[in-house]
Amino acid sequence: MIGALLGDIVGSIYEHNPIKTTQFDFFGAGCRYTDESVLTVAVANAINSSEGYQYNIRKYAKNYPDVPSGYGTNFKFWLYTGGSEPYNSLGAGPAARVSPIGWAFDNLQLTLNEAEKSVVATHSHPEAIKAAKAVVHAIYLGRTGHSPAEVRTLIGSTYDYNLNIDLSEMRPKVEFDSSAPALMPLALTCAFDARTTEDAIRNAVSLGGDADTMASIAGAVAESFFGIPDTLKQETLRRLPNAFLNVMAVFREHQSLRAS
């Protein structure tokens, strides 16, 4: 899950200030966690506590309302009106928060089922569900030993995403679009074209657009292939509140116990 948080933090200052190059200060001045990190931790805590995805998403969003970039208009309406029904959004937000599920279960079908449950807590559009499933599917395959090339082929064919995009050709053309159909092929290609998790995040930020969402997804998938160096882990963790660190510690403990 740290890959998603790292991508969110690094991309946070570029969401409305596109940089269009991979050569930038990785932890730029003012970078910090946004709503993508808040809701990723909420999903992790739902797994830790078995209290449900919707309950935790509501709780964490209300506890951390004033984050950079901010929650979407539809999400805020859903959050504060108190209704339990999802709204028909095809946004990529659920794909950006879903990464803990990719690490938490030892069965692919269960992983995909849990991903869908986490999405329909807020979003009901099939494209949002597909996007989150693609992320956890890629993470599951990556952490179980499949190469980026193998995963690119399988995810592309299974979810009907074009994952053979020329990022250098697309970079000048990408504009802000947080819908899953527009964002997912780009974010996943950023991970598959990388050699490290840092590369994947640099690729994502360099495209512009919804930089923190794209970098969260790219970082989450890339982590399953490449891991994250301790230096980047520490830089990520020191930018998070203690409450998040506590959730992450419990999550890691649960995964360690499961593995043993």
Domain assignments of the chain as residue spans, ordered by start: 2-259
Is the pLDDT reported for residue 46 higher than 70? yes
What average pLDDT does range 61-75 have in this prediction? 89
Residue 222: predicted pLDDT: 98
Instruction: State pTM to two decimals.
Output: 0.96
Residue 19: predicted pLDDT: 93
Distance from C-alpha of 28 to C-alpha of 32, rounded to nearest angstrom: 9
Is the pLDDT reported for residue 82 higher than 80? no
Is the pLDDT reported for residue 180 higher than 70? yes
Mean residue pLDDT of the chain comes to: 95
Residue 66: predicted pLDDT: 87
Residue 260: predicted pLDDT: 60
pLDDT tens for 7-44 read 999 999 998 899 999 999 999 999 999 999 999 999 99
Residue 22, token pair as written in the block: 């991979």
What average pLDDT does range 87-104 have in this prediction? 96
Distance from C-alpha of 16 to C-alpha of 18, rounded to nearest angstrom: 6
Decide if 11 contacts 212 (C-beta within 8 A): yes
What average pLDDT does range 58-70 have in this prediction? 90
Residue 90, token pair as written in the block: 């095809």
Q: Is the dihedral of CA 210, 212, 217, 219 positive or negative?
A: positive
Decide if 33 contacts 9 (C-beta within 8 A): yes
Decide if 11 contacts 215 (C-beta within 8 A): yes
Q: What are the residues whose beta carbons fall under 8 Å from the beta carbon of 218, sequence distance 6 or more?
A: 7, 187, 188, 190, 191, 194, 200, 201, 203, 204
Q: Percent of the chain having pLDDT more than 70?
A: 98
Residue 134: predicted pLDDT: 98
User: What CATH topology corresponds to 2-259?
Assistant: ADP-ribosylglycohydrolase fold (1.10.4080)
Residue 259: predicted pLDDT: 66
Q: What are the residues whose beta carbons fall under 8 Å from the beta carbon of 245, sequence distance 6 or more?
A: 237
Is the pLDDT reported for residue 88 higher than 80? yes
Is the pLDDT reported for residue 254 higher than 90? no
* Among the ranges given (30-44, 59-73, 117-131, 235-249), the one the predictor scored with the smallest mean pLDDT: 59-73
Q: Any idea how long the chain is?
A: 260
